[in-house]
Amino acid sequence: ARIGLAGPKGSGKSTLPRLIAGVYPPTGGSMEIDGDIVPLIGLNAGVNLDFVAADNIRLLLRISGRKPTQAIVDYIWAFTELDERKQQLPLRMFSPGMLMRVLFATATAFPADILLLDEWLSVVDEKFSAKAEARLQRFVSQAVIVIIASHDHELLRRVCTSIVHLDQGRIVRTVQATLAEPALMALDGPAPGSSVSQPFNISGWAIDRSAPAGTGVDTVDVWAYRNPGSGTPPMFVGTATYGAAR
């Protein structure tokens, strides 16, 4: 399920994901949650800027209920692409882009059953944004339930299966949305293990397929982009195998 939350300012669309995440206690009624939740809202919650980066990663992992082994910390740090020595620097010495790298890499280190988003997450660091966007898309595609609150109605119509309209904390209406699906195509061409990225248009969508070099992978993720290069989030279409229609 991909659930969008829409409504005017003060309607409660940003409060609801925080309520589900346990940031706010319910004032009435009851709430039952079944599954692991990853809230990509307020990534700096729990961070101590005077602690070194590595200790902050361990702290955030403990808050999320994970055991902060050295292997996990190393895995998270490798994703940031920051110099190894910066692990031992206090986060207050990091630029906004560097700080976002650490927080984003930590928050998305493990898959979620339930993913919560307050607006589409964007990364300040331009050099890191493409890598972060790819991970976020994979994160969204793997989650069983995604709940995203946004003012961007076009985004909600594009990525959600249903949109809940709120006003003053109450549900006004729920609209079922139909995701646009690009035509499926045979992915013929390069041999597995080569590096390729070939965007082309199908019914107004640009389709991108990539095979990581040197991995021997012949099944790849397929993404659909509306107005490529505009910063509009792509839609995960599925997987495809070279030489076969999927």
Q: How confident is the model at residue 163 (pLDDT cuts 50, 70, 90)?
A: very high
pLDDT over 70 (residue 228): no
- Which value, to the nearest 10 degrees, does the dihedral of the CA atoms of residues 51, 54, 59, 61 take? 160
Structure-model confidence comparison of residues 154 and 3, the more confident one = 3
As a whole number, mean pLDDT of residues 120-143 equals: 78
Most confident stretch, 44-48, 193-197, 219-223, 232-236: 44-48
pLDDT over 50 (residue 204): no
At 32-67, the pLDDT tens digits run 888 888 888 877 778 999 999 999 999 999 988 888
- Name the packing angle between helices 70-80 and 53-63 (round to 10°): 120
Structure-model confidence comparison of residues 60 and 226, the more confident one = 60
CA distances to 5, 80, 103, 115, 122 from 132, rounded to whole Å, are 23, 9, 11, 16, 8
pTM reported for the whole predicted model: 0.61
What pLDDT is attached to residue 197? 42
Burial call 40-78: b when 16+ CB within 10 Å, e when fewer: bbebeeebeeeebbbbbbbbbbeebeeebeeebbeebbe
What pLDDT is attached to residue 199? 42
> pLDDT above 70 covers what percent of the chain?
70
As a whole number, the mean pLDDT across the chain is 75
As a whole number, mean pLDDT of residues 138-166 equals: 87
At 94-126, the pLDDT tens digits run 998 899 899 989 988 888 889 998 877 666 667
Report whether 51 contacts 91 (CB < 8 A): yes
What pLDDT is attached to residue 135? 84
Alpha-carbon distance of 53 to 88, in angstroms, equals 6
